[in-house]
Structure 1
Amino acid sequence: MSSTGIERAGHRDGLPDYGGGYSERGRFPDEKGVGEPYGEPLDGGFRSSLDSGDKGDHTHRKLKSRHIQLIGIGGTIGTALYVQIGRGLLAGGPASLFLAFTIWCTFILAVTLSMAEMVTYLPISSPFIRFAGRYVDEAFGFAAGWNFFVFEAALVPFEVVACNLIIHFWSDIVPAGGIIAIILVLYGIINVMAVQWYGETEFWAALGKFLLIVGLIIFTFIVMLGGNPLGDRFGFRYWYEPGAFTELYYSGSLGRFLGFLQCLIQASFTIAGPDYVAMAAGEAENPRKVMPRAFNAVFYRLTAFFVLGSLCVGILVPYNDEELTRAFKDGEPGASASPYVVAMNRLKISGLPHIVNAMVLTAAFSAGNSYVYCASRSLYGLALEGKAPAFFKKCTKKGVPVYCVIAVLLIGLLSFLQLSANTAVVLNWFVSLVTASQLINFSCMCTAYLGFYRALKAQGISRDTLPYKAWFQPYAAWYGLIGTFIMTFVGGYTVFLPLDGYWSIPDFLFSYTMVGIFPVLYLGWKFLKKTMIFKPEEVDLYRNKDEIDEYERTFVPTPAKNVFERVLDKLFG
């Protein structure tokens, strides 16, 4: 991955200045090299009078570099990496799981490269949603935006249900309804405060997730070499016995292929993309400097967390483990279904399962918190573009789109469905719904980039002048588009198998509802508003750009309040 840095290159190849006259102190220099800042003082420091760099946008740029880096981790790591990943192991075996996660990471990297180039050029609120409408077609932006909102909003009840399930690992004394209500109230409190409070909450929660996955990787390395109460140096034993691949639904090569395919579907749900980094662009301090570093970190996050994580799971537990199979079949609570906890039980390690369960609870809560943030900002972006009711543009004095947050929390009430249905069944419904929406979302990101790429070329703007120039374009965007588009239709394939008991109306609806709704949204808005697909030379590449440039010229960093905060900014910024 490549970045040209934050080039203040002046007028080159038709692209306006990225902040000519910019000084390190964020002032316009006068003849003596001293200038006055443009903007207004705030309690927490200083902000440009333009706030997020969009005249209709009333959010505040209060997220520091360390917040952005950890939000990227916090949003991508939820219960799926620690618990749901075990379902993939049962379906395909360790080799299929590892290969599927590795291959899917290449698709997500392609999507990330595409988003990074667009977002660093124009770091506005809800960038992906608005780019789809600007670079392709207004109707495409409408459909993509509402799909993304459904995707993020549906993840909120998923993680709330997961939190409830995790808490019941210890005790059933607290009723499920009470736990759900408490979690939703906490999400509301965190997300209606100023954005820096959300940033701080997510920073510490995401740091815990990071430490947990690193700890589990180290744990795997130690115990596989014999560092366990049994003194069992098992290494890669389970790759040989019972084997690296397992058969699913059918015997022979077809069964092994379907096992791999199921692992690929699991990967497409587990591995999140650049959405969470991108959604924070409109509230990030100094975004053209901060965002490239955050996008570059995605590559290392994919490798460390998902590729190594899938390898560890296949090392620790055989695919035919009875405890793991029973945990998923019976919908056992909390980390009981985590391959890591199953491995600890196999190795007679006590105490650690409770620690892992506590950390997984933190991961689930943090992920849900991120989804409330992203869903509310996506709805806010739709309102700014006139694709959602205007009252959703209303912000508090702290820059929080409060009605958007309330709308997302109302959708979170769907988590009460588990009170009248099996928790595991409800989780699977949400998994199917959000997987399809996420894949459509990735396809839309790549399509938007291709429109952006063609517009740059048609309007004579060299990509060398951009704040970030991604590798392998436009081929990476085509690669990501083709892979994610195909997987959109593959995700619910099991309902079509000619086997008894696999056809299920709820499974079909949750797997393909958004596949059917997306074209309806697109065509409906297109006929209603008489929109046209933009020709490359017609695309407006400069809207909001002057405001962003001025924000950068007037930017003065918010100083750290104390030594501890300065250390955190240095370590994680």
Structure 2
Amino acid sequence: MLGGNPLGDRFGFRYWNNPGSFAPLYYEGNLGRFLGFLQCLIQASFTIAGPDYVSMAAGEAENPRVVMPKAYNAVFYRLTTFFILGALCVGINVPYNDPELTAAFANGEPGAAASPYVVAMNRLRISVLPDIVNALVLASAFSAGNSYVYCASRSLFGMALEGKAPKIFTRTNRQGVPIYCVLAVLAISLLAFLQVSAGSATVLSWFVSLITASQLINFAVMCFTFLAWYKACNVQGLDRSKLPYRAFWQPYAAWYGFVGCTIMAFVGGYTVFLPGQWSASSFVFSYFMIGLCPVLFIGWKLIKKSKWRKPHELDLRGEVEEIDEYTRNFVQAPYRNFADKWFNKAFGA
């Protein structure tokens, strides 16, 4: 994009001026550009899940007090860098009214045809890179699916252990894998085949709306939980600086996440309230989880008669003595070979 391409063209920021850096949506002018930005933000909310999944591996990781802080930092900085630089590169190379890009979306073309990265490479006349992107998309999809199956099955397993899911999901095989949880998650993933037909793709979009709202609510609850824990630390005099990992910009980052995710959960289906855009199905699937979560939470409180604990009542020590003992006695296993050492160093292990 700086001129080192077959066209010898230095793109600069020409497309930020013509047609513009923001695509208007539904309306012209500043309101249309804001709605276009808001729509992108809603779509990005679907991909918000990922960094939080790292913490779910802590229970099965070796020497988690050393490994997990490195993993947290690595995931945060990598995703932030890739997303920001990726969006910048796309905005420089591809205008929002590019014919190939708009046609791919209008015709519902499969695969990476609608990817602005592929469109950018075609515009630069670089023939081999779109094929590489397709291969990377396949690898990324496999990686994401692998992570989701792992995290969903372990979440279901944990709920079953706490009595919040059927007892059958507590069973494991000889290797300790919650086999019934994995099978249940794999069965749900078959819904992905809804994408193969145009009519069923609409149903899939409804599930995407459900998942997006669920993820935003999940992040809002995590931020709220952190704020409650943060207050308990202050009340009980626990020094966070002595912990193996301490999040920065707290509690302001948690408040930002809580308020932002809560707002986005309610804004996700805003299009149904625009003139001529009303759709009962879109409204239901955009806001169903917002109505369901309070019902589940309050229902559990009423049925189980669980109490809302005050900051000074929280147990902040937990199994810390057992973890301290494990950390003191941990011996790092030697690397099997150079490749194993390089792989572990590259990914923060």
Percent of aligned pairs with the same residue?
Answer: 68
* Matching residue within 325, 329, 334 for 1:559: 334
Aligned AA for 2:74? A
Please say if residues 194 and 204 of structure 2, whose CA atoms lie closer than 8 Å, have aligned partners that are also in contact. Answer: no
Change (3 A) 1:267 1:415: closer
Aligned AA for 2:102? T
* Matching residue within 239, 246, 249 for 1:462: 239
1:343-362 to structure 2, matched below 5 A, reads 343-362=120-139
* Matching residue within 398, 401, 407 for 2:178: 401
Alpha-carbon shift at residue 510 of structure 1 (Å)? 2.4
1:430 and 1:512 map into 2 onto residues whose CA distance is 12
Structure 2 residue aligned with 1:47: none
Structure 2 residue aligned with 1:545: 320
Structure 2 residue aligned with 1:386: 163
Long gaps (5+) in structure 1? 1-223
- TM-score, length basis structure 1: 0.58
| 1:267 aligns to 2:44 (yes or no) | yes
Change (3 A) 1:278 1:400: same
1:49-88 to structure 2, matched below 5 A, reads none
2:49 and 2:17 map into 1 onto residues whose CA distance is 31
Please say if residues 194 and 201 of structure 2, whose CA atoms lie closer than 8 Å, have aligned partners that are also in contact. Answer: no
Structure 1 residue aligned with 2:272: 495
2:242 and 2:2 map into 1 onto residues whose CA distance is 51
Structure 1 residue aligned with 2:218: 441
1:471 and 1:366 map into 2 onto residues whose CA distance is 28
Please say if residues 331 and 424 of structure 1, whose CA atoms lie closer than 8 Å, have aligned partners that are also in contact. Answer: no
1:407 and 1:248 map into 2 onto residues whose CA distance is 40
1:399-438 to structure 2, matched below 5 A, reads 399-419=176-196, 421-422=198-199, 424-438=201-215
Aligned AA for 2:311? P
Please say if residues 191 and 204 of structure 2, whose CA atoms lie closer than 8 Å, have aligned partners that are also in contact. Answer: no
Alpha-carbon shift at residue 531 of structure 1 (Å)? 1.5
Structure 2 residue aligned with 1:294: 71
Aligned AA for 2:278? W
Structure 1 residue aligned with 2:302: 527
2:327 and 2:304 map into 1 onto residues whose CA distance is 35
1:482 and 1:424 map into 2 onto residues whose CA distance is 32
1:420 and 1:318 map into 2 onto residues whose CA distance is 29
* Matching residue within 243, 268, 286 for 1:511: 286
Alpha-carbon shift at residue 311 of structure 1 (Å)? 0.8
Change (3 A) 1:551 1:513: same
Query: Could you give the per-residue CA deviations for residues 526-546 of structure 1, whole angstroms, max 9, x where no partner exists?
Result: 110012211111112222323
CA RMSD across the alignment: 1.9
Moved more, 489-498 or 539-548: 539-548
Alpha-carbon shift at residue 359 of structure 1 (Å)? 1.4
Alpha-carbon shift at residue 424 of structure 1 (Å)? 4.8
Alpha-carbon shift at residue 255 of structure 1 (Å)? 1.2
Query: Could you give the per-residue CA deviations for residues 152-184 of structure 1, whole angstroms, max 9, x where no partner exists?
Result: xxxxxxxxxxxxxxxxxxxxxxxxxxxxxxxxx
1:297 and 1:418 map into 2 onto residues whose CA distance is 33
Q: Counterpart of 1:270 in 2: which secondary structure?
A: coil
Please say if residues 239 and 315 of structure 1, whose CA atoms lie closer than 8 Å, have aligned partners that are also in contact. Answer: yes
Change (3 A) 1:511 1:543: same
Aligned AA for 2:116? P
Please say if residues 281 and 291 of structure 1, whose CA atoms lie closer than 8 Å, have aligned partners that are also in contact. Answer: yes
Alpha-carbon shift at residue 443 of structure 1 (Å)? 0.3
Please say if residues 26 and 35 of structure 2, whose CA atoms lie closer than 8 Å, have aligned partners that are also in contact. Answer: yes
Change (3 A) 1:258 1:562: same
Query: Could you give the per-residue CA deviations for residues 12-32 of structure 1, whole angstroms, max 9, x where no partner exists?
Result: xxxxxxxxxxxxxxxxxxxxx
Change (3 A) 1:347 1:424: farther
| 1:330 aligns to 2:134 (yes or no) | no
2:116 and 2:196 map into 1 onto residues whose CA distance is 27
Please say if residues 235 and 311 of structure 2, whose CA atoms lie closer than 8 Å, have aligned partners that are also in contact. Answer: yes
Q: Counterpart of 1:323 in 2: which secondary structure?
A: helix
- TM-score, length basis structure 2: 0.93
Alpha-carbon shift at residue 458 of structure 1 (Å)? 2.1
Structure 2 residue aligned with 1:159: none
Alpha-carbon shift at residue 421 of structure 1 (Å)? 4.2
Alpha-carbon shift at residue 568 of structure 1 (Å)? 2.5
Aligned AA for 1:360? V
Alpha-carbon shift at residue 235 of structure 1 (Å)? 2.0
Figure out how many residues of one structure are paired with residues of the other and give that number.
Answer: 348
Long gaps (5+) in structure 2? none
Structure 2 residue aligned with 1:453: 230
Change (3 A) 1:474 1:352: closer
Alpha-carbon shift at residue 299 of structure 1 (Å)? 3.4
Higher relative contact order (CA 8 A, sep 6+): 1
Alpha-carbon shift at residue 408 of structure 1 (Å)? 0.3
Structure 2 residue aligned with 1:570: 345
Aligned AA for 2:304? K
Q: Counterpart of 2:46 in 1: which secondary structure?
A: helix
Alpha-carbon shift at residue 273 of structure 1 (Å)? 4.8
1:389 and 1:554 map into 2 onto residues whose CA distance is 37
